[in-house]
Chain A
Amino acid sequence: MNMPSLTHLQRLEAEAIHIMREVVAEAQAPVMLYSVGKDSAVMLHLARKAFYPSPPPFPLLHVDTTWKFQAMYELRDRMARESGMDLLVYQNPEAKARGINPFDHGALHTDMWKTEGLKQALDKYGFDAAFGGARRDEEKSRAKERIFSFRTASHGWDPKNQRPELWNLYNARKNKGESIRVFPISNWTELDIWQYIHLNDVPIVPLYFAEKRPTYEWDGQLFMADDIARLEQVLGYRPEIVERSIRFRTLGCFPLTGAVESTAATLPEVIQETLLTTTSERQGRVIDKDAGGAGMEVKKQQGYF
Chain B
Amino acid sequence: MSQPDVIYQTDALIAQDIDAYLETHQHKTMLRFITCGSVDDGKSTLIGRLLYDSKMIFEDQLAALESDSKKVGTQGAAIDFALLVDGLAAEREQGITIDVAYRFFNTEKRKFIVADCPGHEQYTRNMVTGASTADLAVILIDARKGVLVQTRRHSYLCHLLGIRNIVLAVNKMDLVDYSQARFDEIVADYGAFAASIGIEAFTALPISGFAGDNVTQPSANTPWYTGPSLIAHLEAVPVRGADDLARPFRMPVQWVNRPNLDFRGFSGLIASGTIKPGDIVRVLPSGKTSTVTRIVTLEGDLDQAQAGQAVTLCLADEIDCSRGDVIALADAPPEAADQFDATLVWMADEALTPGRAYWLKLGTQTVSATVRAPKYVVNVNTMEHLAAKTLELNAIGVAEVVTDKALVYEPYAQSRALGGFILIDKITNATVGAGMLNFCLRRAQNVHWQALDVTRQAHASLKMQQPAVLWFTGLSGSGKSTIANLVEKKLHALGKHTFLLDGDNVRHGLNKDLGFTDADRIENIRRVGEVAKLMTDAGLIVLTAFISPFRAERDLVRGLLPEGEFIEVFIDTPLEDAEKRDVKGLYKKARSGQLKNFTGIDSPYERPENPEIRVDTTRESPEDAAERIVERVIGAWMPVI
What are 18 residue pairs bridging A and B, where the CB atoms are less than 8 Å apart in the complex?
A5-B242, A6-B306, A7-B28, A18-B254, A21-B310, A48-B298, A140-B85, A140-B87, A141-B89, A143-B85, A166-B132, A169-B362, A169-B363, A195-B25, A195-B26, A199-B26, A293-B68, A297-B88
When C-beta atoms are compared, the residue in chain B nearest to A143 turns out to be: B101
Chain A contacts of B89 at CB under 8 A? 141, 293-294, 297
**Which of B19, B103, B269 is A143 in contact with, Cβ under 8 Å?**
B103
Given contacts A18-B310, A164-B128, 6 further A-B contacts (CB under 8 A): A8-B28, A14-B308, A140-B87, A268-B18, A272-B14, A279-B60
A28 within 8 A of B: no
- B434 near A275: Cβ-Cβ < 8 Å: no
- B64 near A293: Cβ-Cβ < 8 Å: yes
Q: Hey, what's the 0/1 contact readout for A173-206 against B, CB within 8 Å counting as 1?
A: 1110010000000110101100100110000000
When C-beta atoms are compared, the residue in chain B nearest to A189 turns out to be: B104
**Which of B58, B242, B257 is A279 in contact with, Cβ under 8 Å?**
B58
**Which of B111, B267, B416, B424 is A8 in contact with, Cβ under 8 Å?**
B111
Interface members, chain B 251-308 (any A CB < 8 Å): 254-255, 257-259, 263, 265, 267-269, 274, 276, 296-299, 304, 306, 308
- B297 near A49: Cβ-Cβ < 8 Å: yes
Q: How many residues of A contact B (CB 8 A)?
A: 69
Chain A contacts of B90 at CB under 8 A? 159-160
Chain B contacts of A191 at CB under 8 A? 25, 106
B323 within 8 A of A: yes
Chain B contacts of A14 at CB under 8 A? 269, 308-310
Chain B contacts of A3 at CB under 8 A? 245, 274, 304, 306
- B18 near A5: Cβ-Cβ < 8 Å: no
When C-beta atoms are compared, the residue in chain B nearest to A264 turns out to be: B18
Measured CB to CB, the closest approach of chain B to A115, in angstroms, equals 19
**Residues of A in contact with B (beta carbons under 8 Å apart):** 1, 3, 5-14, 17-18, 21-22, 24-25, 48-55, 136-137, 140-141, 143-144, 159-160, 162-169, 171, 173-175, 178, 186-187, 189, 191-192, 195, 198-199, 268-269, 271-272, 275-280, 283, 293-294, 297
> Are A163 and B430 also in contact (CB < 8 A) when A187-B113, A293-B89 are?
yes
When C-beta atoms are compared, the residue in chain A nearest to B72 turns out to be: A293
Chain A contacts of B56 at CB under 8 A? 137
Chain B contacts of A48 at CB under 8 A? 298
> Are A21 and B254 also in contact (CB < 8 A) when A54-B259, A275-B14 are?
yes
B100 within 8 A of A: yes
**Which of A1, A8, A54, A144 is B30 in contact with, Cβ under 8 Å?**
A8
B149 within 8 A of A: no
Q: How far is the CA of A143 from the CA of B22 in the complex (A)?
A: 26
When C-beta atoms are compared, the residue in chain B nearest to A162 turns out to be: B99
Measured CB to CB, the closest approach of chain B to A266, in angstroms, equals 9
When C-beta atoms are compared, the residue in chain A nearest to B362 turns out to be: A169
Interface members, chain B 367-393 (any A CB < 8 Å): none
Instruction: Sort chain B's interface into a size bin.
Output: 35 or more
B61 within 8 A of A: yes
Chain A contacts of B61 at CB under 8 A? 280
Q: How far is the CA of A189 from the CA of B257 in the complex (A)?
A: 30
> Are A163 and B431 also in contact (CB < 8 A) when A7-B28, A187-B104 are?
yes
B619 within 8 A of A: no
B359 within 8 A of A: yes
Chain A contacts of B11 at CB under 8 A? 275-276
Of B22, B59, B361, most buried by chain A (CB within 10 Å of CB) is B22
Measured CB to CB, the closest approach of chain B to A174, in angstroms, equals 5
Chain A contacts of B28 at CB under 8 A? 7-8
- B22 near A195: Cβ-Cβ < 8 Å: yes
> Are A17 and B129 also in contact (CB < 8 A) when A54-B259, A143-B103 are?
no
- A167 near B245: Cβ-Cβ < 8 Å: no
- B132 near A160: Cβ-Cβ < 8 Å: no
Q: How far is the CA of A103 from the CA of B296 in the complex (A)?
A: 50
**Which of B25, B27, B132, B254 is A167 in contact with, Cβ under 8 Å?**
B132
Interface members, chain B 15-61 (any A CB < 8 Å): 15, 18-19, 21-22, 25-30, 56, 58-61
